[in-house]
Amino acid sequence: MPSQIIKGDGFTAIVCSRGQRQPRCHYCNAPGPFLCDHPVIRNGKRGTCDTRLCKDCRNSIGPDSDLCRPHFTLWRNNENKFKLGDVEIAPDNGA
């Protein structure tokens, strides 16, 4: 268990914690290291859904590309293409 010693004017305190909490899957509450990569528009800016997913709840569609359940269904129904309204979005492959 990580701890920290804080020294002040005439006192010393030891603060203990369990460390940072690991993010949890939106669907099953298991550890969720993956994020949904479906494009969205949030506050007028392009971004990704970012729903937390575990290895069992993610839908992998390519290297480093995972989708949450609703976006996987949407992607599959759109002939494996990303769409925002009537506009087709090319996936950002970091290039």
Three-state SS at 70: helix
Q: Are strands 3-8 and 11-16 parallel, antiparallel or unpaired?
A: antiparallel
Predicted confidence at residue 82, as pLDDT, reads 77
CA distance 85 to 41: 10
Q: For residue 8, what pLDDT band results from cuts at 50, 70 and 90?
A: confident
Q: Is the pLDDT of residue 41 over 70?
A: yes
The model carries a pTM of: 0.69
Instruction: Measure the CA–CA gap between 40 and 61, rounded to whole angstroms.
Output: 17
Q: How many CA atoms lie within 13 A of 57 on its CB side?
A: 21
DSSP 52: E
